[in-house]
Amino acid sequence: MDFYSKTGPMALGSRLRRLSERLTDQAGAIYALYGNDLQPKWFPVFYVLAEGGERSITDIAVDIGHSHASVSQIAGELAEKGYIKEKKGKNDARKRFIALTQKGKALAAAMQAQYEDVRTAVEQTMKEANHDLWRAIEDWEFLLDRKDLLGRVQDVRRAREAKRLRIVDFRPEHAKAFRDLNERWISTYFKMEEPDYRSLDHPQEYILDKGGHIFMALLDDKPVGTVALIPMAAQSAAKAAAQGAESAAPHGAMSAAPHGAMSAAPHGAMSAAPHGAMSTAPHGAMSAAPHGAKSVVADGAAADVVAADGARSAESAAAAAPQAPDTHELAKMAVSPEAQGLGIGWLLGQAAIERARTLHLRRIYLESNTLLKPAISLYYKLGFQRIVGQPSPYERANIQMELVL
């Protein structure tokens, strides 16, 4: 068994190239047999001119499937032999036209017998073969036009890898992977900030305890991707509480001013101040209030995280999207670079959407950045549509999207 039989499809291009080289060598010998000095590589251009008369370089390239540069080079070599001449276009002097010279026309006439003999020999060979080579080539060209070989191999690879892939709910042992996947992806496109670290270091407190969900993609039980589904209403409340705690009152105390202030009500309760009113304290500042107040502030400060897909967590979403208990934000999507190309982002998105339907949510909201073209394309594929909301307070988000369920 030879190399090509052993390697099969992997050597398809090499085998076709070997066949092409073999036929080209034989073509050279056939030209010599009939006393022609035409080179096999010149034949497509020469034949088009012999059959159709004067043509432009561009038109010939399109007809025979060669590049413009290749046809120009062949035209130059045929011109040196005296078989063709160049002409300027009648309506556009910049366009190059070529045509056969008298010498070229004489050669074309002399080659008629050669054409007939070669055609007859090829037809006889076809009858001896078990398959029609021309039809097989046409079939392959048609199929590869619909989807190239690379795309077909990618599909097969994804299907095979999918058997090793699982989407599961977050467990405590996934905490480090959740953080590492997001940090790696955020740092690739943006700059990590302190609120990012706090949120990623405490997913239980900032996401799950608020009624959110985190999904992990496992490839052979190794975490390679993640995404979160975060309640918008809960995050909005956390944000407002955090902003109230950041007022100008003495350190550790609650301000009595109505604007954005928190009442002395139990943990997490908000005053009747306008929703979303912000204090002048630095973003993310934490008071020295009792433990419960600190927790609320941390929630608001940490909600600014940018996920791998460019979507930020619910703090920024709360500033730009309508608040409703039946709305969650899709955020913190990250896929390991080593596992990309397996459709993991699609599977994570589908898992989040299915969970949202189970929870009877009305919509899923997200914010992202158009710099992340693959992510934006994925969101559209999942059914999200672009919306226009209030301007985001963060520069890294420049697109808002929603999926109405």
Give the DSSP H/E element, type plus range, for residue 215. strand 213-219
Residue 110 has pLDDT above 60, yes or no: yes
User: What is the structure's pLDDT at 183?
Assistant: 92
- Whether residue 154 contacts residue 341, with contact meaning beta carbons closer than 8 Å, is answered with yes
CA dist 96 and 91 (Å) reads 11
User: What is the structure's pLDDT at 2?
Assistant: 56
CA dist 97 and 117 (Å) reads 31
**How many helices and strands in the chain, by DSSP H and E?**
17, 10
Taking the complete model, does pTM exceed 0.85, yes or no? no
Q: For residue range 383-405, what is the model confidence (pLDDT) as tens digits?
A: 999 998 766 655 678 899 999 99
Pairing of strands 84-88, 222-231: unpaired
Q: For residue range 349-382, what is the model confidence (pLDDT) as tens digits?
A: 999 999 999 999 999 999 899 999 999 999 999 9
- Whether residue 45 contacts residue 64, with contact meaning beta carbons closer than 8 Å, is answered with yes
Residue 335 has pLDDT above 60, yes or no: yes
Of residues 349 and 283, the one with the higher pLDDT is 349
Q: For residue range 6-42, what is the model confidence (pLDDT) as tens digits?
A: 555 667 788 888 888 888 888 888 988 988 888 889 9
Percentage of the chain modeled with pLDDT above 70: 72
pLDDT confidence tier of residue 224, bands split at 50, 70 and 90: very high
Q: For residue range 134-183, what is the model confidence (pLDDT) as tens digits?
A: 888 889 889 999 998 888 888 888 888 878 899 999 999 999 999 999 99
**Nearest Cα to Cα of residue 10 among 149, 162, 158:** 149
Pairing of strands 84-88, 55-56: unpaired
User: In a 10 Å sphere around its CB, with 0-12 CB exposed, 13-18 middle and 19+ buried, how is residue 15 labelled?
Assistant: middle
